[in-house]
Structure 1
């Protein structure tokens, strides 16, 4: 984490970018929220005045910066970054808004038609969020594949119809037989070298590959194979204000399935042990960090 050439986190940085909490103090000119309001926080700071910011897309502001801060008792953010949480939602729900917004943004970028065949590669939190939104937005048959079946039940609970073993998922003919045709859209939600090329081979001719996995290493694809199928490759990253708001609304509507991603909760004092445990293959999906009290939550 501190050595990655792209997403290097400097030593001493406060992590935690999936966060929610209660407003305890307001700065000068901050009037949108009152003391005591509970909010989910979009972890992107921006200028607030450019065309992207005014359109609710701070990720594309020239001055944007990602930040953490959730693994602390208190943090300061601009009111522009805050999304009000309905009274029905807990701080834990608020910390789930960020990963749900990533999945929503990816499905929106896919321009998915109703009834589309969808294959999701990866059953981590982003893959699960993608399954959730693909189902809610009208996908037909949804399949998921991952290197193990540990999260098969969780994926099915989020809306997938079936799990494809990784060996079968390497063979387009087997995928086509299982799904009733090659998928119209393949979502790459892992971020490992070689997976984009694999997804290109699995999608139907003139299908769409949406890349949500953050691979920070150099990678290769077979451009001739991609162009011979006229595959559309759509990169997708971050989210907008609307994605956050719609994710909070989905939770507020009483849909409990995203909460199944939370497999454990820890306090700040338990974080080092939790991180060490994640170095090994584990059944954990998302660990909720509860700094000090239930008034604030951040997801790991």
Structure 2
């Protein structure tokens, strides 16, 4: 198959071996796959995650950074076939997506960060039939590829255990932060304050349901909110994933504040623990989405409760992947560039 792949920290395009499905595994042809900032972070800091998994255990331990692997974990595709002895849960020809995890046939891999389970930057994938879910046939492929990143934001939102008495601050308004805002809005949380350096992202935060969107270089998002009776935020969602963020949040958070760490920082973080203890802070580390979040994301996109159309930038073929990875951040970068690996 043709694919864009990572090898020794570089994005390349070429031929890769077609994956062969085992028991419980579906062979899927990719239609559309979003490009996530975590893949760009992995180019520079992926070895840290591999080494940590080898030391403490985890699915990244089997990944060899010097060998090619095909990224892409925000995907939609068409079922082609199954491995021998499979239950064949979705008929061939139907569209599917899934939580990007493979647990069948004795495997425990993250799809897109595995030599055995290539991701959506390639023409073919293997998906776990037990967690694969069928996508409505009339759902646009690019919208369907946004189910996974939206689901991550919805998972992070609920991890904060928000209620209607909370005032929430969402730091970073990429796809995950926007998903957090959408999730909080659906749960009736208000006010929601969004903070991002980029004007376009702040506009999208308002469209997604934030009450206020500020540039934190100009307005302190932790200060009393004049538009809301002088309230301060008490529930803070971090969606940036850069070292130093947690310590800065700890220093700015209010007494008995709650912090949800959703950004995927792949570098070591240094903390002054006493600063958090002194304020009696609760810090919750959010992970990836679960099937319930995928189901909610799919329904919300399908019925129009959440419009992901503004997230979508260019739709590219494989030859444009390396350039798109290099341009993933910045004031004019779209929330998501989408790859169609069937085109070059």
Q: Please indicate the TM-score interval, normalised by the length of the shorter structure.
A: 0.7 to 0.9
The answer to whether residue 110 in structure 2 is matched with residue 66 in structure 1 is: yes
**How far apart in 1 are the matches of 2:105 and 2:73?**
20
In the superposition, the TM-score normalised over structure 1's length comes to: 0.84
Could you tell which deviates more after superposition, 66-75 or 249-258? Answer: 249-258
The answer to whether residue 102 in structure 2 is matched with residue 32 in structure 1 is: no
The Cα shift of 1:129 comes to 1.0
The answer to whether residue 174 in structure 2 is matched with residue 124 in structure 1 is: yes
Give unpaired runs (5+ residues) of structure 1. 50-62, 294-300
Q: 1:169 to 1:72 in 2, by over 3 A?
A: same
Structure 1 runs (4+) deviating above 4 angstroms are 8-11, 168-171, 175-179
**How far apart in 2 are the matches of 1:170 and 1:225?**
20
Give unpaired runs (5+ residues) of structure 2. 1-41, 51-64, 113-118
Name the structure 1 match of 2:163: 113
**How far apart in 2 are the matches of 1:2 and 1:11?**
13
Name the structure 2 match of 1:205: 255
The Cα shift of 1:210 comes to 0.1
How is 1:1-300 mapped onto 2 (pairs within 5 angstroms)?
1-4=42-45, 5-7=47-49, 9-28=65-84, 29-46=86-103, 64-68=108-112, 69-168=119-218, 170=220, 172=222, 174-177=223-226, 180-278=230-328, 282-292=332-342
Q: 1:282 to 1:43 in 2, by over 3 A?
A: same
Which deviations, in whole Å up to 9, do the C-alpha atoms of 1:272-293 show, x marking residues without a partner?
A: 2322333665332210112227
Residue 161 of structure 2 aligns to a residue in which SS? coil
Which deviations, in whole Å up to 9, do the C-alpha atoms of 1:107-131 show, x marking residues without a partner?
A: 1111000242110010111111111
Is the 8 Å Cα contact of residues 158 and 258 (structure 1) preserved in structure 2? no
The Cα shift of 1:90 comes to 2.2
**How far apart in 2 are the matches of 1:227 and 1:177?**
29
**How far apart in 1 are the matches of 2:306 and 2:293?**
18
**How far apart in 2 are the matches of 1:272 and 1:123?**
23
Residue 147 of structure 2 aligns to a residue in which SS? helix
Which deviations, in whole Å up to 9, do the C-alpha atoms of 1:38-88 show, x marking residues without a partner?
A: 111221112589xxxxxxxxxxxxx63212110111212221231111234
The Cα shift of 1:175 comes to 4.9
Paired positions, count: 279
**How far apart in 1 are the matches of 2:274 and 2:225?**
21
Which deviations, in whole Å up to 9, do the C-alpha atoms of 1:86-111 show, x marking residues without a partner?
A: 23422222211111111111111110
Is the 8 Å Cα contact of residues 186 and 202 (structure 1) preserved in structure 2? no
Q: 1:117 to 1:96 in 2, by over 3 A?
A: same
**How far apart in 1 are the matches of 2:43 and 2:244?**
24
The Cα shift of 1:255 comes to 2.7
Which deviations, in whole Å up to 9, do the C-alpha atoms of 1:252-271 show, x marking residues without a partner?
A: 22235223111221122222
**How far apart in 1 are the matches of 2:105 and 2:310?**
35
Is the 8 Å Cα contact of residues 198 and 331 (structure 2) preserved in structure 1? no
The Cα shift of 1:197 comes to 2.0
Name the structure 2 match of 1:296: none
Residue 20 of structure 1 aligns to a residue in which SS? strand
Q: 1:171 to 1:133 in 2, by over 3 A?
A: closer
In the superposition, the TM-score normalised over structure 2's length comes to: 0.74
Q: What RMSD over aligned residues (CA atoms) do the two structures have, in Å?
A: 2.3
The Cα shift of 1:231 comes to 1.0
